[in-house]
Amino acid sequence: MKAIEVIDDLKRRFPNEPEYIQAVEEVLTTIEDVYNDNPEFERYNLIERLCIPDRIFAFRVSWVDDKGKVNNNMGYRVQHNNAIGPYKGGIRFHSSVNLSILKFLAFEQTFKNSLTTLAMGGAKGGSDFSPRGKSDMEVMRFCQAFIQELWRQIGPDTDVPAGDIGVGGREVGYMFGQYKKMAREFTGTFTGKGLEFGGSKIRPEATGYGNVYFLLEMLKTRGIDIKGKTVAISGSGNVATYTADKLLTLGAKVVSMSDSDGTIHVPEGLTREQLDYIFKLKNIYRGRIREFAEEYGCAYYEGERPWQRVKCDIAMPSATQNEIDGDDARALIEGGCMAVSEGANMPSTPDAIREFQKARLLYAPGKAANAGGVSVSGLEMAQNSQKLSWTEEEVDSKLKQIMCDIHEQCVKYGTETDGYINYVKGANVAGFMKVARAMMAQGIL
Ligand code: NDP
Ligand code: 2IT
């Protein structure tokens, strides 16, 4: 396999899908050697079967808003690969959602889920519906209409959705409710459910906590202590807030958070009370991060991301894809940043990744560093099948173990001759080998 030829072919066939091509290109260029060491992979044209999703559902979602107006959105589910377990991955509600974005997310999810050590295939779904500014009832009606179409394609052993951008506990609750009604079953078809109806302890916290656990493992390889380090975080949603929560517990200083309108800068570090304010602002009042700056009188950079503005030891991008470009990466490095651990999926552009690796930063791609979320989803599935509920301590200790295992796999497959750990290569090769072997064993499907 020549990565460049496969990528050129995909570019020709899917010319309007830049995010999908970007995600595929990153993986193929790093697995090329191990792929070619196994000639039987090529005989079975494994690479194309791994890059192209198993199937995609696309549908119209019609719903009525509070004024009585009929709205129409697009809904999708990309079932990418189920070689190692049922399709599994989040649902994103955001105005920017399109097939390119969902295909990149489903592709990445396949490798991420493989790294978790649990039995989950890869999928992603969503809609260009934006929950921003919608009433609770509008969100409920939208979720119900979305599931009315999707329910036949998902199930506890078929495809198990969860949250992502714009989809949290509230949306999962409404979707689960509608699924239960349509399917006439009460099963673990969604993860990220409320604790009262089958949700797992620590699932809301899992992505952020897991990212910090992964960061600790990376820092350990260089004997660096997290205490007192300044950390720039982007985003102020699920992943960002629980990342900040764990960092505060460990004595690090969180100096920035953001949303799609701008960035707050708190050089002395957020206090626990301030973080609680952000949590309530975002989850209960559904306000803007600017309101934090107004409340506490800190700096606010309208329309800007943290990277060029905020000096930090560690960056944890936790908002969205391609939010750190080459210039941002260079600014971070010049400012003395030593580690980047990605909470978001594909937040760094290829140019930014090259800069981080050239400067020998500790750099962890999302598919390794943010795998804690889907890992605890996997643990939620296990608890649902057993009809049991584990304690917070049990789930948290399993999450820690999984993040350590993922780090170990990255070290095993990603350590270069000079000792530098290429976490991108490590994660891609480790994730790929397990899926590839499973696909080989199951024949051409
Ligand atoms: P939330 O919806 O809870 O929060 C998203 C945050 O990112 C918000 O602050 C939002 O700002 C900001 N944001 C979203 N889109 C953009 C954009 N286009 N430009 C700038 N800012 C943006 O989502 P999550 O915290 O769940 O997800 C954040 C990232 O983490 C995503 O990349 C997601 O794929 C990834 N992830 C999530 C997991 C999970 O379990 N939830 C697991 C693994 C990865 P605003 O409020 O203005 O929209
Ligand atoms: O990107 C991700 O890993 C998620 N949004 C979580 C997926 C899940 O099934 O928990």
pLDDT tens by residue, 5-57 = 999 999 999 999 999 999 999 999 999 999 999 999 999 999 999 999 999 99
Cα of 234 vs centre of ligand 1, distance in Å, is 9
- Give the whole-number percent of the chain exceeding pLDDT 70: 100
pLDDT tens by residue, 301-316 = 999 999 999 999 999 9
pLDDT at 291: 98
pLDDT at 168: 97
pLDDT tens by residue, 259-297 = 999 999 999 999 999 999 999 999 999 999 999 999 999
Active-site position among 88, 103, 124, 398: 124
Of 221, 207, 230, 257, the C-alpha closest to 366 is: 207
The b/e string for 51-79 (b: 16+ C-beta within 10 A; e otherwise) is bbbbebbebebebeeeeeeeeebebbbbb
Helix (H, G, I), strand (E, B) or coil at 364: strand
CA dist., res. 209 & res. 201, Å (int): 13
pLDDT at 349: 98
pLDDT tens by residue, 359-411 = 999 999 999 999 999 999 999 999 999 999 999 999 999 999 999 999 999 99
DSSP 8-state assignment for residue 200: P
The residue-averaged pLDDT of 57-73 equals: 98
What are the angstrom distances between the C-alpha of 315 and each of 123, 181, 364? Answer: 28, 43, 11
Q: Ligand 2: does its nearest atom lie under 6 Å from the Cβ of 110?
A: no
- Sheet of 87-93: strand order equals 55-64, 70-81, 122-127, 87-93, 159-162
DSSP 8-state assignment for residue 128: S
Query: Predicted confidence band at 125 (pLDDT cuts at 50, 70, 90)?
Result: very high
Q: Is 124 a catalytic residue?
A: yes
pLDDT at 234: 98
Beta-carbon contacts of residue 439 (< 8 Å; ≥ 6 apart) = 44, 46, 49, 50, 81, 83, 445
CA dist., res. 293 & res. 443, Å (int): 57
Q: Ligand 2: does its nearest atom lie under 6 Å from the Cβ of 378?
A: no
DSSP 234-267: ---SHHHHHHHHHHHHTT-EEEEEEETTEEEE-T
Of 273, 275, 274, 255, the C-alpha closest to 265 is: 255
CA dist., res. 393 & res. 329, Å (int): 37
Sign of CA dihedral 219, 220, 224, 227: positive
What are the angstrom distances between the C-alpha of 93 and each of 121, 123, 129, 296? Answer: 21, 15, 5, 30
pLDDT tens by residue, 69-83 = 999 999 999 999 999
CA dist., res. 93 & res. 48, Å (int): 29
DSSP 8-state assignment for residue 92: E
Cα of 3 vs centre of ligand 2, distance in Å, is 27
CA dist., res. 318 & res. 257, Å (int): 9
What are the angstrom distances between the C-alpha of 209 and each of 188, 240, 371? Answer: 23, 10, 10
Ligand 1 shell residues, CB under 6 Å: 94, 96, 163-166, 168, 207, 235-240, 259-261, 318-320, 343-345, 370, 373
Are 269 and 296 in contact by the 8 Å Cβ rule? The answer is no
| Strand residues in 329-425 grouped as ranges (E) | 339-341, 362-364
Residues facing residue 73 across a β-bridge: 61
pLDDT at 236: 98
- Please report the atom of ligand 2 found closest to the CA of residue 164: 5
Burial grade of 37 (CB within 10 A; 0-12, 13-18, 19 or more): exposed
The mean predicted confidence, pLDDT, of the chain is: 98
Of 56, 99, 81, 22, the C-alpha closest to 432 is: 81
Burial grade of 137 (CB within 10 A; 0-12, 13-18, 19 or more): exposed
Residues facing residue 60 across a β-bridge: 74
| Tokens representing residue 347 in the block | 């937040």
What are the angstrom distances between the C-alpha of 29 and each of 294, 358, 418, 424? Answer: 46, 17, 20, 10
Which amino acid residue places its CA nearest to atom 22 of ligand 1?
260
- Give the whole-number percent of the chain exceeding pLDDT 90: 100
The residue-averaged pLDDT of 179-192 equals: 97
Which amino acid residue places its CA nearest to atom 4 of ligand 2?
90
Cα of 319 vs centre of ligand 1, distance in Å, is 4
CA dist., res. 51 & res. 6, Å (int): 9
Q: Which ligand is nearest to the CA of 118?
A: 2
Q: Ligand 2: does its nearest atom lie under 6 Å from the Cβ of 323?
A: no
pLDDT at 335: 98
Cα of 294 vs centre of ligand 2, distance in Å, is 33
